[in-house]
Amino acid sequence: MQQIKEDAQFRSVINGALPVVAVFKTTWCKDCHYIEPFMPDLIKQYEGKLDFVHVDRDDLPDLCSELNILGIPSFIVFRQGQEITRFVSKLRKNREEIEEFLDRSLQVAEALGK
């Protein structure tokens, strides 16, 4: 998963050909560490359908404020620079919930592409 370090880099990446899943995390977040073991499998599962990037909320606080990232981990899917879906909750996210979100995001991206 590509690490985003600059605002301009983020804005460039979300304009890619595939929908981009931006995963907002921090190093000190226990729920962020909880998802780490299965995220590589999910990235491989959606290869060719979704691109994934990681944004550390502490590295880009202005961007996160602009995007209204309050809880972490947060997932936002962008298509051609526009947000199409968002998965944010106070509860710990499990693999099944994240997969459901990614599947729904693909459906939305496909519907918007028509």
Strands 51-56 and 2-4: parallel
Q: Which of 9, 16, 18, 29 is catalytic?
A: 29
Quick check: is 64 catalytic? Answer: no
d(CA 44, CA 41): 5
Evaluate whether 61 touches 92 at the Cβ level (below 8 Å). no
Q: Which of 32, 64, 67, 69 is catalytic?
A: 32
With tokens 């693999």, the residue in question is 95
Evaluate whether 84 touches 78 at the Cβ level (below 8 Å). yes
Quick check: is 32 catalytic? Answer: yes
Active site residues: 29, 32
